[in-house]
A and B are shown apart, each in its own frame.
Chain A
Amino acid sequence: MARELPPIEEYGLIGDTRTAALVAGDGAIDWLCVPSFDGVPVFARLVGGATAGTFEVAPAGPATLSQRRYRPDSASLETTWDCGGGTLTLTDGMVAEVAERLLPTTLLVRRLEAAGRPIEVVINFDPRFGERRVQPRVERRGALLFCSWRRIALSVQASGGAVVEPGQPYRAVVMPDEPLTVSVCVADREPLVHVPPDAAWSALEDDEIRWRKWCLGITHDVPHRPAVVRSLLTLRLLTYSPTGAPVAAPTTSLPEELGGVRNWDYRYAWPRDASIGIGAFLGVGKDNEARRFMAWLRNATRLDRPRLPVLLDLHGRRPRPERELKGWPGYRGSVPVRSGNGAANQRQLDGYGWVLDAAWLLTRAEWRLYGETWRAMAAFADKIATQWRSTDAGIWEVRGDEAHHVHSKLMAWLALDRALRIAERRRTSAKRVRRWREQRDAVAAEIRERGFDPELGSYTRSYGSRDLDAALLVLPLLDIEPADSSRIRGTIDAIRRVLGAGGPLVYRYTPGSDGLPGTEGAFLACSFWLVQALAATGRRREASQLFDELIGCGSGLGLYAEEMDPTSHRLIGNYPQALSHAALVQAALALRDAALSDAGEVTPAESPQPEQAAERRAADADAARSGRRRRV
């Protein structure tokens, strides 16, 4: 009988910052692309059906899942089953740090440990290649199993003499104190590097030490720090290390409505996400990650400047054209399954605001922009100064819905305002500054005149519309008007009233108003923006309460998808989603800043935290050694 896919929130993420896998609570890896996030799927049962590949490791007999967790401050996932008189623990991980060592670029490690009694386990290794789910050419050389297609090869090796065969469940007995380890090495157009299981496990343990050290550098003064740390770890796992590109999510076509059509490919990088990530990482003292995002923005957008592309692939190229994968049944019947993302062809104006704001945050944190970085930012400001009067598709990328989105106009204002702030610290021509100022003021005037509905007492989704848009929750963070103004308060209250989905949940716009059949869930990033908005407008107690509730909305592992079904409270949409996690971190930082502000203390934005100060001191020392200022 075909196994029913578990709920999305039952999956855990493991990754190596080049690609990532999703591991179900029953021990099956149902999603893995190699060698990169947007590479070829080899385990794709999640959306590709029973013949799309999986890698199951689980107890052979009756067992109940007793615990799932990440090993503390690491990317290694532990799944423990109660097997009647004994327990079986599966530890999964991917080795992230392979540079300067003879290790394969992708190294997956799975270890089974029994306690209490010997436990029989079953291993089902069944890789398939790509869209056509091609079975591999198989070869066995001693203990090593080779699976190869044209450009990709996998080698599998298990400890204790276990003999894994592709597509055939293999049974073994795990004795207490004698763990069974399986290592999977991947090669893409290069020779395979074989790593014996014990050496692979050792490499994973070394990685865990590095991740713990990395987590120590995260500020300690944020509420719900474990959730913040898990979010930051997830953001880092979803950052493609070879280029620094932030991947929106490791998956494609996890549905925004079960059985629905809102299934998109998120294995790409949005400049907007990089910019939000800069704020999140800077706020917790991880300046290096913030700088890498800015470097990615500078490098990846070069071909399109001064136009800011909506999204790019991991190497800064235009994504493949969007298409539907034939014969893929989708997650629980949610079709189509898409590859590529058609939003790349849209015109979106809000991205300029996010990017310029990120540049300002770095400048405010005393990172001096390189000449090229500033030229890029100034070019974006010039572009938006001439383009802001146009219609656009808006942040939500609704197909065929070009309009004068108020959120996009606000972000155009933000872009020009932040460019002006940076220009105060850079040599910029008076003519250019005057143009930016004139256009900024013109945007503000137009937004107030055409984007606000006095009857609703709220800014609206687009000019002349009476619809609301939860993206407007960023209003109090912009400084376009005082955070405690009646217009801003009115907008926040109207959004809660009209778009509230129960508890802390918020729809991004009126459900079903995007022209597609069916509906969708509550958008989790908007819920975190609501927390930020409340914290920024003096309603810290409400914000804190909502944040507490939202922390309970994640998966048991602290992961968040794009959306949540407000009725079933199931996570839906691509998973885990970087934007949700970045917004969680930003919300926690807003609560911290609000608490400090209430106590009359200087906020960290004005005075760096100890961890941040330490990282900046190290950067200062480097800069002093090289005779240069800290630059980005």
Chain B
Amino acid sequence: MDWAGWAVFGLVATTLLTCVMIAAQMAGLTRLDLPLLLGTLVTADPDRARAAGFLVHLAMGQVFALGYAAVFALLDRATWWLGAILGLLHVTIALAALVPLLAGVNPRMASYRAGPSSTAVLEPPGLLGLNYGIQTPAVAIVAHLVYGTALGLLLTP
């Protein structure tokens, strides 16, 4: 397995993914902000949360990149289109399972069951993150295609 490539290009791919997400936010396409969602696990200040969340996101991206590297090693091939397919699988898991689960672990994120005593201020993401804007799934798919394609191009089996 390409351990050196994983160590370096995992960070590169996650940074690219984050850049796509931030660009989409800046363009007003989505309110999905993964660094903020992750960073509010440790602080309520949105600016500090984004900094902390970016580091957490980098670490998570590195863990996912390990999966990509393992699949490339198992199949003994690493191509951009294989990376893109894995990116699609990755984004499906992220939107359908991981992001909605955040409401259960992040005390600052409300759930649909929140009541009057809730002090959580982050809205729940909803199905496929649609509460953060109707284009959220499309933006997430593009970002993860970029991530997967980058790994497919940069890693060796």
Q: List 12 A-B contacts (CB under 8 A).
A: A17-B115, A18-B112, A18-B113, A97-B115, A242-B110, A243-B123, A291-B121, A298-B46, A299-B123, A304-B28, A315-B123, A631-B45
**Residues of B contacting A300 in the complex (Cβ-Cβ under 8 angstroms):** 123
Judge whether A371 and B133 touch: CB under 8 Å: no
For B44, the closest partner residue in chain A by CB is A631
Q: Name the distance in Å between A223's Cβ and chain B's nearest Cβ.
A: 26
B121 in contact with A242 (CB, 8 Å): no
B30 to chain A, nearest CB (A): 8
Tell me the minimal C-beta distance from A554 to chain B in angstroms: 22
B23 contacts partner chain A, Cβ-Cβ < 8 Å: no
Q: Kindly report which residue of chain A lies nearest to residue B123, judged by CB atoms.
A: A243
Which residues does B use to contact A, with CB under 8 Å? 25, 28-31, 44-47, 110-119, 121-124, 126, 131, 133-134
Pick the residue among A242, A292, A303 that contacts B112 (CB under 8 A).
A242
CB distance from B133 to the nearest CB of A (A): 6
A317 and B133 contact, Cβ closer than 8 Å, known pairs A288-B119, A299-B122: yes
Most buried by A among B29, B45, B115, B117: B115
Q: Which residues of B contact A631 (CB under 8 A)?
A: 44-45
The 4 closest A-B pairs by CB, nearest first: A295-B121, A97-B115, A243-B123, A241-B114
- A: interface residue count bin: 35 or more
Q: Which residue of A lies closest to B27 (CB)?
A: A303
Q: Does A445 contact B (CB under 8 A)?
A: no
Residue in B28, B119, B121, B134 whose Cβ sees the most chain A Cβ within 10 Å: B121
CA–CA, A291 to B122, complex, Å? 12
Docked pose: A627 CA to B29 CA in angstroms: 35
Which A residues lie within 8 Å of B110 (CB)? 241-244
Known contacts A316-B131, A317-B131, A317-B134: A214-B121 contact under CB 8 Å:
no
A304: chain B residues at CB < 8 Å are: 28
Q: Interface code A235-279, partner B: CB below 8 Å = 1, 0 otherwise?
A: 010000111100000000000000000000000000000000000
Residue interface bits A292-334, CB-to-B below 8 A is 1, else 0: 1001101110111100000000011100000000000000000
Task: Identify which of B25, B118, B123, B126 contacts A99 (C-beta below 8 A).
Answer: B118
Residues of A within 8 A of B133 (CB): 303, 317
Contact with B along A175-199 (1 / 0, CB 8 A): 0000000000000000000000000
Nearest CB of B to A376, in Å: 10
- Contact between B113 and A105, CB atoms less than 8 A apart: yes
- The answer to whether B131 touches A16 (Cβ under 8 A) is no
A628–B44 alpha-carbon span in the complex (Å): 10
The residue on B at minimum CB distance from A298 is: B46
Tell me if B47 and A372 are in contact (CB < 8 A). Answer: yes
Beyond A243-B123, A370-B46, A631-B44, is A302–B114 a contact (Cβ under 8 Å)? no
Question: Cα distance A299–B36 when bound, in Å?
Answer: 11
Closest Cβ of chain B: how far from A290's Cβ, in Å? Answer: 12
Residue among B111, B123, B124 with the most chain A CB within 10 A?
A: B123
Which partner residue on chain A sits nearest B33 by CB separation?
A302
User: Chain B nearest CB: distance from A96 CB in Å?
Assistant: 5
Separation in Å of the B47 CB from the closest CB of chain A? 5
Min CB distance, B131 to chain A, in Å?
Answer: 4
Residue-by-residue, is A82-100 near B (CB-CB < 8 Å gives 1, otherwise 0)?
0000000000000011110
Closest chain B residue, CB of each to CB of A289: B116
- Distance (Å) between the CB of A483 and the closest chain B CB? 35
**Which chain A residue has the least Cβ–Cβ distance from B25?**
A302
Number of A-B contacts (CB under 8 A): 91
Q: Indicate if the CB atoms of A316 and B116 lie closer than 8 Å.
A: no
**If the complex has contacts A242-B124, A304-B28, are A210 and B117 also in contact, measured as CB distance less than 8 A?**
yes
Give min CB distance, A624 to chain B, whole Å.
Answer: 15
Task: Assess the A242–B114 pair: CB atoms within 8 A.
Answer: yes
B126–A214 contact, CB under 8 A?
no
Residues of A contacting B28 in the complex (Cβ-Cβ under 8 angstroms) = 303-305
Whether B46 and A316, one on each chain, are in contact in the complex, defined by CB atoms closer than 8 angstroms, is: no
Q: Contact between B118 and A241 (Cβ–Cβ < 8 Å)?
A: yes
Q: With the chains together, A372 CA to B48 CA distance in Å?
A: 10
CA distance A628 to B47 in the complex (A): 13
Q: Is the CB of B45 within 8 A of A97?
A: no
Say yes or no: is A35 at the interface (Cβ < 8 Å to chain B): yes
Chain A residues numbered 94-118 whose CB sits less than 8 Å from any CB in chain B: 96-99, 105
Distance to closest chain A CB from B117 (angstroms): 6
* Nearest opposing residue in chain B for A288, CB measure: B119
CB distance from A358 to the nearest CB of B (A): 15
Q: Is the CB of A97 within 8 A of B111?
A: no
Residues on B with beta carbons closer than 8 Å to the beta carbon of A236: 116
Measured in the bound complex, the distance between the Cα atoms of B47 and A371 in whole Å is 7
Q: Name 7 extra pairs, CB < 8 A, besides A242-B114, A303-B133, A316-B123.
A: A35-B112, A97-B116, A97-B117, A99-B117, A299-B122, A303-B30, A304-B28
Separation in Å of the A253 CB from the closest CB of chain B?
26
**Looking across the interface, which residue of chain B has its beta carbon closest to that of A211?**
B116
Tell me the complex Cα distance, A17–B121, Å. 15
Q: Is the CB of B44 within 8 A of A98?
A: no
Interface residues of A in 133-190 (CB under 8 A from B): none
Alpha-carbon separation in the docked complex, A244 to B119 (Å): 9
Q: Are B116 and A241 in contact (CB under 8 A)?
A: yes
| CB <8 Å contact, A214 and B116 | yes
Q: Which of A214, A303, A372 contacts B31 (CB 8 A)?
A: A303
Q: Which listed residue (B47, B113, B114) contacts A370, Cβ 8 A? A: B47
- In the complex, A35 Cα to B113 Cα: how many Å? 10
Q: How far is the CB of B124 from chain A (nearest CB, A)?
A: 6
Closest to A97 in B: B115
CB-CB under 8 A for A299 and B115, given A315-B131, A370-B47, A372-B47: no
How long is the Cα–Cα vector from A295 to B36 in the complex, in angstroms? 14
Q: Which listed residue, A98, A296, A298, A371, touches B113 by the CB 8 Å rule?
A: A98
Chain B residues within 8 Å of A211, by CB:
116
Residues of A within 8 A of B123 (CB): 242-244, 299-300, 315-316
Q: Which residue of B lies closest to A239 (CB)?
A: B116
Instruction: Find out whether the CB atom of A99 lies under 8 angstroms from the CB atom of B112.
Output: no
Query: Which residues on the A side are within 8 Å of B112 (C-beta)?
Result: 18, 35, 105, 242
What is the 8 Å Cβ interface bit string for chain A, positions 215-237, against chain B (1 contact, 0 not)?
00000000000000000000010
Q: Which of A96, A291, A295, A373 is most buried by chain B, counting CB atoms within 10 A of its CB?
A: A295
Closest chain A CB from B110 CB (angstroms): 5
Question: In the complex, A299 Cα to B122 Cα: how many Å?
Answer: 8
A371–B48 CA distance with the chains assembled, in angstroms: 10
CB pair B116 A99 closer than 8 Å: no
Q: Could you mark each residue 344-371 of chain A with 1 if its beta carbon is under 8 Å from any beta carbon of chain B, else 0?
A: 0000000000000000000000000011
| Complex CA distance for A296 and B115, rounded to whole angstroms | 15
**Given the complex, which residues of B lie within 8 Å of A295, measured CB to CB?**
121
Measured CB to CB, the nearest residue on chain A to B115 is A97
